[in-house]
Amino acid sequence: MHELAITESILKIALESAEQHGAKRVRAIRLAIGPFSGVVPECVQTYLDVLAKGTAAEGAKIEARQLPLRVRCRDCGKEGEVSRTRIECPFCGGLRLERLSGKECTVENLEVE
């Protein structure tokens, strides 16, 4: 259900944006996805294939880019990016991190014609 609702909003954004630019077809939809968004691009693609039938985005491909996780260190106060496999402050190695991002799922851009 998670991806279905997300795909509906992605499709809406894509179609509105395509219309604004006078595009006839949407070929690809590029997403920026945070590591904790829980969004699986393959699932979005599956739903899009169904939802986009008969619209300008029919047959559009989902291309997803993983965003880094931004954190603030409670020990040294700096902000940085960490990977999912190495969650520690990149400056002091501290582990008391505050998560600043990671749940995003946004349409970064579209490929249209």
The burial class, CB within 10 Å (0-12 / 13-18 / 19+), for 86 is exposed
Q: Enter the DSSP assignment of 46.
A: H
Q: How far is the CB of 81 from Zn ion (least distance, A)?
A: 13
Q: Residue 69, interface with Zn ion (CB under 5 A)?
A: no
Question: Going by C-beta distance under 8 Å and a sequence separation of 6 or more, which residues neighbour residue 2?
Answer: 38, 39
Q: Which of 15, 23, 73, 97 binds Zn ion (CB under 5 A)?
A: 73
Choices 17-25, 32-40, 47-55, 83-91; region in contact with Zn ion by CB under 5 A: 83-91
Least Å from the CB of residue 34 to Zn ion: 21
